[in-house]
Amino acid sequence: MDQEIKNAEGRRRGAGVRPVPAAGVGMPQAAVICVVLVLAAVMRLYGLPAAEVFRLLAGAAGIGVVVVFTLTAGGRGVVAAAARAVLQSGR
């Protein structure tokens, strides 16, 4: 009986599963952040209103998020479910 309780507790805590260490900001993320900041500054210098610049960058970020979700493992199901929800909400 005691062994069964210990086995059940071990399964609940995820025995044998190693935690994945948190990753910091890598070179690709830093490059994207720099490019976005430079792009925003250049567009503002060319006279685009700040609201337009932010709208454009937000749209690009949204596209980037969808691409990342689609390319990662299990992400296609998330994107498909979101697309179904959007399409069904218009009914």
**pLDDT tens readout for residues 34-78:** 888 888 889 889 998 888 888 888 888 888 777 777 777 677 787
**pLDDT tens readout for residues 9-22:** 555 555 555 665 55
- Half-sphere exposure of residue 60, counting CA atoms within 13 Å on the CB side? 12
The more confident residue out of 91 and 77 is: 77
8 A C-beta contact, residue 70 and residue 76: yes
8 A C-beta contact, residue 77 and residue 71: no
Query: What is the predicted pLDDT for the residue at 69?
Result: 74
Say whether pTM exceeds 0.85: no
